[in-house]
Amino acid sequence: MTFRRFAVVACTLFLGMLIITNGKPTEVTHAFCKIAWLVGVPCDQVNMAIVTQIKAMGSYKLGPVTPTLIQANHTSAVGQTERVNFTMMSTSISLGCLIQGCSVSEFWFSLFDNGTNYCNLHNVIQGSGLTKSLGFIEFTNEWLCLGFGLSACK
């Protein structure tokens, strides 16, 4: 697949997802990040991997978990809090799962978050080992994810 073709597929998928997930813009006064991932792993296993990883990371506090939604709060070193959630949807690709992650800073003054919200999401998926699963793809960009271009996750 050429890059151009890939980009078209990625964009189409994203537009589709924005519609599915209501498409309402997040409040602009809070820094936020939305990411989508496609993995060749069934959603129930994805759910388990994410929950296990969040529990293993001291900076996260796990909230309610259902088969399709995982909620948590993240507290960063400087004491800022971000609300984080992951939703899972089975794909038509056999055994695949479409994951959507969202991280929003609690305070307006963290608007320039240097990629904190991106890293909140990315570090969980990376730590869970899902980045190494078959067909793993991460989708995001600067307007869905503030600080994406700046981020160097620890």
63 counts as binding ligand NAG under rule CB under 6 A: yes
Residues 111-140 that bind ligand NAG (CB under 6 A): 112-114
Q: Is 65 left (phi over 0), alpha (psi -120 to 50) or beta?
A: beta
For residues 108, 123, 137, 13, the Cα torsion angle rounded to the nearest 10 degrees is -20
69 counts as binding ligand NAG under rule CB under 6 A: yes
CB 104 within 8 A of CB 110: no
The CB-of-77 to ligand NAG minimum distance in angstroms stands at: 9
61 counts as binding ligand NAG under rule CB under 6 A: yes
- Which residues lie closer than 8 Å to 129 by C-beta, 6 or more apart? 49
Q: Which residue's Cβ lies closest to ligand NAG? A: 63
The CB-of-140 to ligand NAG minimum distance in angstroms stands at: 15
User: Which tokens hold the place of 112?
Assistant: 């320039």
> Toward ligand NAG, which CB reaches closer, 6 or 107?
107
Quick one: DSSP state of residue 45?
A: H
Q: Where on the chain is the footprint of ligand NAG (CB under 6 A)?
A: 61, 63, 69, 73, 83, 85, 87, 102, 104, 110, 112-114
